A = this chain, B = another copy of it.
Amino acid sequence: MSKRGAALELAVLGLLHDAPMHGYELRKQLNSLLGWGRVLSYGTLYPCLKALGKAGYIVATEQKDVPARGRRARIVYKLTAEGKERFTQSLEESGPASWDDDNFGIRFAFFARTASPTRVRILEGRRSRLEDRLESVRLSAQRGRERVDAYTLELQRHGLESVEREVGWLTELIERERSGGYQDPPEDTSKPDTSKPDSSK
């Protein structure tokens, strides 16, 4: 759970930070958060929840008193104080791990709760990671060792273009970040229920 698993852990912690939830619901949210084709299985989620429970970051409370007429007792997971601590600490981190392929997406998804300097560091880290990638691919294309038919070329061209766009996107975000943009309210940790004070920039 030290490298990849951190992504799932953070995502679960973050979603439960928003609101307590049961496994089934959590999975749906996770699927749209982790996005794009990836579908998380229960075989991953439930053991992860168990581990987080054992670590003391979450507690499971069974809804047996209010079974809502016939409905199966659902197990609702809730963040502990340690869990909240862990989550906020994780959000402060801005080392290389925070901008690798596996973590960047989740880190970005929680940007609203991340401090602005941290956001910039992560965005820049991600950008230079992608730029390194572009560089090495361009070099190896120039050295021209490999198979070159029209399709291989097209695949390479398309890949290059996609990554270039990604870099452009990141650059825009960084600039917006630097000019105050995206303005978020300075983190709300007290209120358990948010009544949508402000959603548009």
Stretch at the interface among A2-10, A41-49, A76-84, A156-164: A156-164
Q: Does A29 count as interface, using CB distance less than 8 angstroms?
A: yes
- Name the B residues within 8 Å of A105 (CB-CB): 155
Interface residues on A, range: 35 or more
Quick one: which of A167-201 are within 8 Å of B by CB?
169, 173, 182-185, 199, 201
- Name the B residues within 8 Å of A108 (CB-CB): 151, 155
- Name the B residues within 8 Å of A18 (CB-CB): 147
Stretch at the interface among A30-38, A52-60, A66-74, A87-95: A30-38
Are the CB atoms of A112 and B150 closer together than 8 Å? yes
Complex Cα distance A183/B154, Å?
12
- Name the B residues within 8 Å of A152 (CB-CB): 109, 112
For A201, the closest partner residue in chain B by CB is: B150
Are the CB atoms of A37 and B148 closer together than 8 Å? no
Q: Does A101 count as interface, using CB distance less than 8 angstroms?
A: yes
Are the CB atoms of A151 and B101 closer together than 8 Å? no
Main secondary structure of the interface of A (DSSP, over half): helix
Are the CB atoms of A133 and B36 closer together than 8 Å? yes
A162 interface neighbour in B148, B154, B162, B201, Cβ under 8 Å: B162
For A158, the closest partner residue in chain B by CB is: B169
> 9 tightest CB-CB pairs across the interface, nearest first?
A111-B151, A112-B149, A150-B182, A112-B151, A108-B155, A37-B101, A150-B201, A109-B152, A35-B159
Question: Could you list 15 further interchain pairs (A-B, Cβ under 8 angstroms) beyond the known A149-B199, A150-B184?
Answer: A29-B147, A32-B137, A32-B146, A35-B155, A35-B159, A36-B159, A37-B101, A109-B152, A109-B155, A112-B149, A148-B199, A150-B183, A158-B169, A162-B162, A165-B165
Q: Which residues of A contact B (CB under 8 A)?
A: 18, 29, 32-33, 35-37, 101, 105, 108-112, 133, 137, 140, 146-152, 154-156, 158-159, 162-163, 165, 169, 173, 182-185, 199, 201
